[in-house]
Structure 1
Amino acid sequence: MTITQLRAFVYAAEHGSFTSAASRLGVSQPTISALIRKLEEHHELPLFIRTGRKLALTAAGSELLGWARQIVETAELADEALVELRGIQRGSISLGVLRNANFYFLPDMVERFHRRRPNVNLRLFGQNSFEVVEGVRNGQLEAGIVVLPVPDEELEVFPLVQDEVLWASIHPERVAAPVSIEQIVSNPVVLYDASYSWNDPTRRQLSERAQERGLRLQPRLEVEYLEAALELVKRGLGDTMVSRAVTQNVNFPPEIHVASFETPLYDTIAVIRRRNSVYSPAIRELIDIVNDILKERAYGNGRPGRTNLVQGGREGEDERA
């Protein structure tokens, strides 16, 4: 059983004819017939019922098809990886990103990468860091950029930058000074990332702080998107958490006031990958672009209330990459 035979079988099954499979592979129809006949002879089982113009799978063919597709798809991915090693000129790469990536690096990252590699298809996934972790762990994603903390079993984690988390309210008196967790739970709260709830890293940090004081953080309203939460805050329906990067965006509502936490709270943005894995050249280049963008925006390094680079994050990653 060879890759060529399996590829001929898969294409014939998908297109319903040897002629279409031959056209897909750029060979003659007799070549496809011979490849599949050898496959059938090897296993002494018919794979197709040849009736009329349309091929139909036998029970053996149906059993083989799923396995054959996996093998062919894996071989094609291997081809793409080797193409990338020759210069990252074409192919497709997938990266998981945190929910608020747009506020940190996403538009600039896409633009810079596209200008360098216009023929490489870029696919970005992720509604939440928790979802990205699952994608990296099960192999659907080669790497991801997430907010910590995340469950790191089977993963390597490389911190890049910290961004302060602030508390936001339409009522200036509630955020006139650094806020305590007691103040937060005493007023209505609006939280986003409803689908992932307390699996969301930032929400987990808030919940843990409340638990340490014997309190429970119970949101009055939960929505899926940050933008919706900010709109509800603007209408006076509750207060919410927000990263400093979001508040510096031109679209952040000017009516909303923010303050630091009494004990400052930070989101740490990090790269994750499966343990003992190695980045492909394209993913490495993409992560380097993200790192450059974060460095450019980490002005005022070391001063409170700013977005700060995590010292040593890239060095550790480079040693193991």
Structure 2
Amino acid sequence: MLDIRAIRAFQAVAEERSFTRAAHRLNVAQPALSRQMRELEAGLDLVLFDRGVRPVALTAAGRVLLEHGQRILAAMVQLHGALDRVRQGERRKFTIGFVGSTMFGLVPDLLRRFRAKAPDVDIDLIEMNTVSQIEALKSGRIDAGLGRLTLEDANVARRVIQHEALMLAVSQHHALAVGEEPVNLAELVGEKLILYPAEPRPSYADQVLSLFHDHALSPVNLLEARELQSALGLVSAEAGVSIIPASVAKLRRDDIVYRPIRQATAVSPIILSWRMNDSSDLLRSLLAVVPGEEG
């Protein structure tokens, strides 16, 4: 017998390709999850998993259920939201999760344009990291997310709306504070590099490290900060240097100097994410004001 809980549990096993990892993700005991999947197979009179291989693989029937189950779950999220609005007698609501550093550039203007297209809608903004956004999208807690990481998930569609240049932030007393020429990443290998956020990972911190590694550079003197403002505070205190999105330089501070970076690959994407198969008019209104290409 198909029900929403069974479909959601099946989806977790299919995506994790492991009953153990899926049980951890669902916060249930692994034996209980295995029993639920056996009952699902018995009710459908179909074998959904090839349990004889590692990692666990889907049968042809399992692949069909995964494809259609994703659509069912997306539709149920929208249905519950619509029913909640009717039940509570509220105005329509659209919730967007966002990474803090996306709010210094073009995103605020995009949100103003979205509000203008949907004046009768309450647009709620919740700050959360990109990893949390993916789970919040799938659970229906948010309707769209603005982040900087490309996290592959079959249930989530993405659009890169900007490739934002990165800059170096240094104390006004640092040797690299002098000059207007772009700074070469190689000049930073010997510096104490302040990364943020410290957790969860992967995060923007890993993007910065990948930038160095892509140029065969390995900074070894690392200091992790909890978030952007902490990183800038450490820069001001001359505890190290940090690489930040260029729009953050709008936070003008007399004690910090911002320098461009020479490498053309020193960019960080701003990515809009939403539930795959979400066909709501509000999402269409948002996508209409957002530039970029899906991918």
Shorter chain as normaliser: what TM range? Answer: 0.5 to 0.7
Instruction: Give the CA deviation at 1:165.
Output: 0.8
Q: Which position in structure 2 is the counterpart of 1:215? A: 218
Instruction: Tell whether the 8 Å contact from 2:190 to 2:221 is kept in structure 1 after alignment.
Output: no
Q: Which position in structure 2 is the counterpart of 1:79? A: 83
Q: Distance in 2 between matches of 1:279 and 1:150?
A: 22
Residues 159 and 112 (structure 1 numbering): CA distance in 2 closer, same or farther, change over 3 Å?
A: closer
Instruction: Give the CA deviation at 1:164.
Output: 0.1
Matches within 5 A, 1:1-321: 76-79=80-83, 90-105=91-106, 107-108=108-109, 111-114=112-115, 117=118, 119-170=120-171, 171=173, 173-174=175-176, 176=179, 177-196=181-200, 198-200=201-203, 202-212=204-214, 213=216, 215-220=218-223, 222-247=224-249, 249=250, 251-264=251-264, 265-275=266-276, 277-289=277-289, 291=290, 310=292, 313=293
Q: Give unpaired runs (5+ residues) of structure 1.
A: 1-71, 84-88, 296-309
| Percent identity of equivalent pairs | 19
Q: Distance in 1 between matches of 2:221 and 2:155?
A: 32
Residues 227 and 215 (structure 1 numbering): CA distance in 2 closer, same or farther, change over 3 Å?
A: same
Instruction: Give the CA deviation at 1:282.
Output: 1.9
Length-normalised TM-score, structure 1:
0.55
Instruction: Give the CA deviation at 1:217.
Output: 4.5
Instruction: Give the CA deviation at 1:109.
Output: 5.0
Instruction: Give the CA deviation at 1:266.
Output: 0.8
Q: Distance in 2 between matches of 1:160 and 1:184?
A: 29
One-letter amino acid of the counterpart of residue 283, structure 2: I
Residues 280 and 218 (structure 1 numbering): CA distance in 2 closer, same or farther, change over 3 Å?
A: farther
Q: Distance in 1 between matches of 2:112 and 2:187?
A: 42
Q: Distance in 2 between matches of 1:242 and 1:278?
A: 33
Residues 203 and 76 (structure 1 numbering): CA distance in 2 closer, same or farther, change over 3 Å?
A: closer
Secondary structure of 1:100's partner?
helix
Instruction: Give the CA deviation at 1:244.
Output: 1.2
Residues 224 and 149 (structure 1 numbering): CA distance in 2 closer, same or farther, change over 3 Å?
A: same
Instruction: Give the CA deviation at 1:106.
Output: 5.3
CA root-mean-square deviation: 3.4
**Any idea what the Cα deviations from partners look like across 1:57-107, whole Å, max 9, x if unmatched?**
xxxxxxxxxxxxxxx998652336899xxxxx9222212222223212455
Secondary structure of 1:187's partner?
coil
Q: Distance in 1 between matches of 2:120 and 2:189?
A: 51
Instruction: Tell whether the 8 Å contact from 2:94 to 2:124 is kept in structure 1 after alignment.
Output: yes
Q: Distance in 1 between matches of 2:98 and 2:244?
A: 18
Residues 169 and 73 (structure 1 numbering): CA distance in 2 closer, same or farther, change over 3 Å?
A: closer
One-letter amino acid of the counterpart of residue 146, structure 2: I
Q: Which position in structure 2 is the counterpart of 1:22? A: none
Residues 74 and 138 (structure 1 numbering): CA distance in 2 closer, same or farther, change over 3 Å?
A: closer
Instruction: Give the CA deviation at 1:112.
Output: 5.0
Instruction: Tell whether the 8 Å contact from 1:190 to 1:239 is kept in structure 2 after alignment.
Output: yes
One-letter amino acid of the counterpart of residue 199, structure 1: P
Q: Give unpaired runs (5+ residues) of structure 2.
A: 1-75
Q: Distance in 1 between matches of 2:138 and 2:77?
A: 20
Instruction: Tell whether the 8 Å contact from 1:99 to 1:129 is kept in structure 2 after alignment.
Output: no
Instruction: Tell whether the 8 Å contact from 1:80 to 1:92 is kept in structure 2 after alignment.
Output: no
Instruction: Give the CA deviation at 1:278.
Output: 2.3
Residues 157 and 108 (structure 1 numbering): CA distance in 2 closer, same or farther, change over 3 Å?
A: closer
Secondary structure of 2:82's partner?
helix
Instruction: Tell whether the 8 Å contact from 2:102 to 2:270 is kept in structure 1 after alignment.
Output: no
For these two proteins, the number of residue pairs brought into alignment is: 213
Instruction: Tell whether the 8 Å contact from 2:147 to 2:272 is kept in structure 1 after alignment.
Output: yes
Q: Distance in 2 between matches of 1:193 and 1:126?
A: 14
Q: Distance in 1 between matches of 2:132 and 2:140?
A: 12
Secondary structure of 1:148's partner?
coil
Deviates more, 1:157-166 or 1:104-113: 104-113
